[in-house]
Structure 1
Amino acid sequence: MVLTLLGFGMVIAFMTLIMMKRLSPLVALVLVPIIFALIGGFHAGMGDMMLDGLRKIAPTGVMLMFAILYFGVMIDAGLFDPIVGRILRIVKGDPLRIVVGTTVLALMISLDGDGSTTYMIVVASMLPLYRRLKMNALNMTCLAMLSSGVMNLTPWGGPTARAASALHVDPADVFVPLVPAMGASILAILALSVYLGLRERRRLGKVTLPGMSAGSYDEETVRNLPAMEVDEELRRPKLLWVNAGLTLVLMISLVMGVLPLPVLFMIGFAVALLINYPDLAEQRRRVAHHAGNVLSVVALIFAAGIFTGILSGTGMVEAMSRSLLAIIPDAMGPYLAVITAVVSMPFTFFMSNDAFYFGVLPILSEAAQGYGISPVEMARASLIGQPVHLLSPLVPSTYLLVGMAAVDFGDHQRFTLKWAVLVCLVMMFAGLALSLFPLYGAAA
């Protein structure tokens, strides 16, 4: 009980402090777990716990560091300028079209099952456009994250593979029936993008120049639209196709798993820097220019390693899961599938996917079998909370998203949480309607 109270107290204190902006996420991730570990009397082994957490998170931190540097160089070189210009002509300065287009792009890229790749491509492609038209970047981070949360349920994505492995069922049996429910969630995300886009349109209107109509966008109009501050001397238009080819090769290598992600981005960054800026002094300036973004994201990643190391090493995660399971009364047993779907939102927010799927889900599934609820049905129900899971401070890719988009982590959480819960509920009710898991299980 003490560990349970410490665990929930630590997470709640952390979330309260950053969402109320009493502490920065970096400071809270380091100090809050240390304070709670000391309160729990774990001072003797605290150092080893933190180092263990740092070891586990180190490859992710290295990957994000060089990913930010790589895409920073590509933005400097102007790789995404043609994309932004073409989108401007298509959307004709309409924020609604831009927001919907962001969502469609994120949904398509998310098919690879890797949230980090989705965020890097979406933000690198769309952020210049949002800044150029002075749009709220939280719309972009919200919709990109929700899209990734739903599309990551593919068999090659992490959650489905974990759920299937934990319950020893075929991933295809979990995923294929889930597709229509995912479709309902996608429609909900697209509807949300329309709503947010209309809200931006009301705030900004359609961006037009004096004397130009909304339908008269041409090359000259696009060039004269409010632009970001860029250094034209850094642009490398003659290397556009070289940079595009390098990026395509890098993305294909990521999907195919040719090399570990950190290594791929280290190589990609080195090659990109050498091709675009062969002058040694300019290479140093490019690294120094992006050092602020890199430091802010990577520092958060390693701080999160301390948080997760203490949370796991003290046994708080295990105590939290067992205590939550213990409070479910026997009368609620027949509803275990729905209960699993609902609690997957807070469970995967407070703990890692590994802790939930390999620690909590098997216990829930074993109890559910007594009410005629099969393991495959429990596996499907357990996936419902993934859009909320990505808002967790324990998810490294979320730091990449907010870091690249230059938005505050707490602002992103406050803006996105209600929409993430809504998408989860849409998926849950669609799952119930399609009989993917039962509302009420009869005793076996």
Structure 2
Amino acid sequence: MSYLALVGFAMMIIITVLLLKKKVSTIFCFTVIPVVAALLVGANLAQIGGYVSKGILKTYEIALLMLFSLPYFSMQSDTGMFDYIVKFILKRVKVAAPVLTALTVIIACVCELDGSVLSVYLITIPLLLPLYKKFHVDTRIMPFLCSVSILLMCNTPWNPRILRSASLLTRNNAASYLFVKLLPMQGILLAILLVYAIYLGIRTKKNAAEAGEKVDVNELLGMIKDTELSRPKLFVPNLILTVIIIITLMLFQQIPNYFVFAIGLVIGMMMNYPNLKQQDKLAQKYYAKLWPVTPAVLLSGVVVGVMQYSGMLDAMVKTLMAVIPTAVGPYVYLIIALFSTPLMLLFTNDTWYYALVPIVAAFSSKYGVAPEIVVATLFMNFGAMISPVAQPQIYVATELSDGMDLSTYVKYTFPKLWVLNVVWVAGGFLLGTFR
């Protein structure tokens, strides 16, 4: 192993360990440690400045997208747009156990449109928990379905998870590219999840006497309350604005994604909250939520820049190519994808995307596999939803689910997630998305 490779692997291991143990901030790991590594391989300050500049150029568009897209959906959440969609659905369905489990998926998917994992659990579980108890549905099903729905809806061009993946690609509007590429598999997995949810509900219906059980829909709707920021009269204009933004992202990829959301945010603010003081107050609230995720995404470019332009990445790839048999090389990314559920117990989201994926992408490119293919294949790291290290919001989900133990949630969810993980990779491979 060359000295460059040794320093490169040491840097990634140190970053991973520090983030897993939560000893320092993500921003520290993405700035100080790569600079120290660059100094260790003999780079001077001028060279390091070049590495940083080139690396940041790979991530600045993604950071700008987060700067406008996440506040946009936070604003729409405040207007009540997602709540009104949920109310519309609830008014038009007759609740029973199979319908209830399917509703869990639908409501969770709608709630995840704003990109917030926490909001899915905070809205969906308290809303549906009384019904789960009423129909004797196993409450373990609810956080499981919510978690998979969150993973599914991560494939939107503004979601932090897909933005992390997009930051690893050099093409323009990489988030929209990944969204379109993964959309067929997203639709297939959503259909599979809905069928499985209904099956779980039917099994419950057979095992529990629910005859005569009735639900007061008005009581359920009463649990979704308006606030002073709600804008029920502007629901249709807000929905139209959101649809226009999404269509623009898909059809006009030559327009920078962040600019589309910037315009949407400005129009949405003026339409819903014309008072400038209120706009300023809301903007402060929304942008507070971006710390430290957006700076971390931006500064992840430092790690990528140092690894790539110092020669570390090439040296690391050569080391792996010397160790891994040639026959296995072209399929390494697929093997890692198939085992991503248990592997995520060893990673955080940041270390998965910024430590593991770049190395695998560079390695696979030596065997003719494009980086876009590798990034798309490794995008859906299912195991994040069983790891409280990668996704600490899981603690909230278990606590809301009638005080469920974390171990109970993991034991119930882990095997099902891994099966879905394998289905996702196998389906994407057969469709040609992952090859």
Give the TM-score, by structure 1 length. 0.62
**Counterpart in 2 of 1:61?**
63
The answer to whether the 8 A contact 1:349-1:390 is kept is: no
**Counterpart in 2 of 1:81?**
83
Residue in structure 2 matching 1:247, options 237, 242, 250? 242
Confirm or deny that 1:6 pairs with 2:29.
no
What pairs up with 1:216-227 in 2 under 5 angstroms? 216-223=215-222, 225=223
Contiguous gaps of at least 5 residues in structure 1: 107-117, 151-158, 166-174, 202-212, 366-377, 393-397, 437-444
SS in 2 for 1:80: helix
CA RMSD of aligned residues (A): 5.1
Q: 2 CA distance for matches of 1:13 and 1:71? A: 35
Moved more, 129-138 or 31-40: 129-138
Q: 1 CA distance for matches of 2:62 and 2:26? A: 18
Which amino acid in 2 is paired with 1:130?
Answer: T
Inter-CA distance 424–383: structure 2 relative to 1 (3 Å threshold): farther
**Counterpart in 1 of 2:308?**
312
The answer to whether the 8 A contact 2:19-2:25 is kept is: yes
The answer to whether the 8 A contact 1:149-1:386 is kept is: no
**Counterpart in 1 of 2:230?**
235
What pairs up with 1:131-210 in 2 under 5 angstroms? 132-133=126-127, 140=146, 143-145=149-151
Residue in structure 1 matching 2:105, options 95, 100, 105? 100
Inter-CA distance 233–69: structure 2 relative to 1 (3 Å threshold): same
Shift of 1:284: 0.9
The answer to whether the 8 A contact 1:184-1:426 is kept is: no
Which amino acid in 1 is paired with 2:233?
Answer: K
Give the TM-score, by structure 2 length. 0.63
**Counterpart in 2 of 1:280?**
276
Shift of 1:248: 0.8
For residues 143-193 of structure 1, what are the alpha-carbon distances to aligned partners after superposition, in whole Å with 9 as ceiling and x for unaligned?
43367679xxxxxxxx9xx99x9xxxxxxxxx9xxx8x9999778766987
Inter-CA distance 307–435: structure 2 relative to 1 (3 Å threshold): closer
What pairs up with 1:373-412 in 2 under 5 angstroms? 386=376, 388-391=378-381, 409=390, 411=392
**Counterpart in 2 of 1:129?**
123
**Counterpart in 2 of 1:440?**
none
Which amino acid in 2 is paired with 1:363?
Answer: K
For residues 60-97 of structure 1, what are the alpha-carbon distances to aligned partners after superposition, in whole Å with 9 as ceiling and x for unaligned?
11111111111121111111121232455659597844
Q: 2 CA distance for matches of 1:257 and 1:120? A: 22
Inter-CA distance 63–418: structure 2 relative to 1 (3 Å threshold): farther
Q: 1 CA distance for matches of 2:258 and 2:81? A: 22
Q: 2 CA distance for matches of 1:123 and 1:254? A: 22
Shift of 1:363: 2.9
Contiguous gaps of at least 5 residues in structure 2: 130-141, 157-164, 172-180, 205-211, 344-350, 396-409
Inter-CA distance 144–248: structure 2 relative to 1 (3 Å threshold): same
The answer to whether the 8 A contact 2:31-2:299 is kept is: yes
Inter-CA distance 147–244: structure 2 relative to 1 (3 Å threshold): closer
The answer to whether the 8 A contact 1:76-1:234 is kept is: yes
Inter-CA distance 420–8: structure 2 relative to 1 (3 Å threshold): farther
Inter-CA distance 121–87: structure 2 relative to 1 (3 Å threshold): farther
Inter-CA distance 20–419: structure 2 relative to 1 (3 Å threshold): farther
Residue in structure 1 matching 2:322, options 315, 319, 326? 326
The answer to whether the 8 A contact 1:341-1:383 is kept is: no
Which amino acid in 2 is paired with 1:69?
Answer: P
For residues 226-257 of structure 1, what are the alpha-carbon distances to aligned partners after superposition, in whole Å with 9 as ceiling and x for unaligned?
x68x7x22111111111111111111101112
Fraction of identical pairs, as percent? 20
